[in-house]
Amino acid sequence: MTEPWHQETFGGGEPVFVWLHGWGQTGASMARLAQLFSAHGRHVIYDLPGFGQTAMLAEGAGTEDYADALAAKMASAGIGPAIIVGHSFGGRMAVQMAARHPDRVKACIIIAGAGLKRRRSLAFKLRAMALRTLGRLARLSDRLFGTRFRDAYVARFGSADYKNAGALRATFVRAVNENLVAEAKAGRAPTLLLYGSDDTETPPEIGRRYEHLIPIARFVEMPGFGHLDILSRGAYQCEAQIRAFLKDLADA
C-alpha cells in the first residue's frame, strides 16, 4: 500500500489531468492554471513527496522513484491514462512517466521542465570543476581532521535550493545531475513544451532540445516570462497553448 499523498481534486469525467509542481513548491503553485480547466475533465493536484503535506520517499530517491510512486498512486486510484502536467521538477517526472509507465500517460504538458544538461561555456565548466574539487577537499578535511570546512563551503557556494533541501538534499543532488536524454527518446506520449523566454533556470534551449528528443513534441517559447511567473502572470497564455494542444490531441 502506498503512502497517502496530499491532493486537491475537482471536476469530473474525461480527460483526467494530473498536476505536478516544481522543486520547493506545493500543489498550490499549479492551482491557478489548473482552475482554468475546471470545466474540462477531472483534475488531481498533488503535493509531491517531501513537499507540502506529503511525506518524503526514501532518502536519496530519484525522479524515477517519484515516477514509480506516482504510477502506483494512480493505479490504486484508478487514474490513467491521464494528461500529466509538470512544472520544472514535475517536468522531470513527466518525462520519466512517459518512458517508464506509458500505460498511465495519455499526453504530457511540460512547463519550464528540467532534466537535460545545460550547455555551458568553457569558463563556467572550469569554475564548476574547481568548485567540485574544493568541495571534495573540504569533505575530506572534515573526515580526517574534524574540521567544519564543508559547512563553510555550502554556506559560500551552495545554491538556495541546495541549502534549503534539508532531508531532500540527496534527492536534489541526484536530480540536478541527471540527464534524461534516453528517457525523453523512449517516451511516446504527445508532449507540449512551454518555456519562458526569460527563464534563467530552465531556459528555452532545454525545451528545444526536448522537442528534438521526444518523438511527438511541440515546443512553444513564451515571450516575457520566467521560471515561476509563467504559472502566475502567464497562466492565461499557458491556457491558450494548452487548449490548442488538447484540441489537436482530440482531432488526431
pLDDT in tens, 156-170: 655 666 666 789 999
H/E run at residue 198: none
DSSP code, position 197:
T
CB 32 within 8 A of CB 59: no
Q: What is the pLDDT of residue 150?
A: 66
Q: Which three cell numbers stand for residue 225?
A: 516570462
What is d(CA 165, CA 170) in angstroms, rounded to the nearest whole number? 8
CB 95 within 8 A of CB 120: no
Instruction: Tell me the HSE value of 157 on the side-chain side, using a 13 A CA sphere.
Output: 15
Q: What is the pLDDT of residue 142?
A: 72
Q: Sign of the CA dihedral 50, 6, 194, 14? A: positive
Q: What is the pLDDT of residue 132?
A: 66
Instruction: Tell me the HSE value of 64 on the side-chain side, using a 13 A CA sphere.
Output: 9
CB 209 within 8 A of CB 114: no
Place of cell 500529466: 84
Q: What is the pLDDT of residue 234?
A: 98
Q: Count, in order, helices (H) and strands (E) of the chain.
A: 10, 7
Low-confidence stretches of the chain (pLDDT beneath 50): 1
Residue 87's φ and ψ, nearest 5 degrees, are: -105, 130
Q: What is the pLDDT of residue 1?
A: 46
pLDDT per position as a tens digit, 6-55: 999 999 999 999 999 999 999 999 999 999 999 999 999 999 999 999 99
| Domains assigned to the chain | 7-117+179-251 (3.40.50.1820), 122-167 (no CATH)
Q: What is the pLDDT of residue 3?
A: 74
For the entire predicted model, the pTM comes to 0.86
Contacts of 108 (CB under 8 A, 6+ apart): 83, 84, 85, 86, 94, 95, 97, 98, 187, 189, 190, 191, 192
Count of C-beta atoms within a 10 Å radius of residue 151: 12
What is d(CA 185, CA 71) in angstroms, rounded to the nearest whole number? 20
Q: What is the pLDDT of residue 80?
A: 79
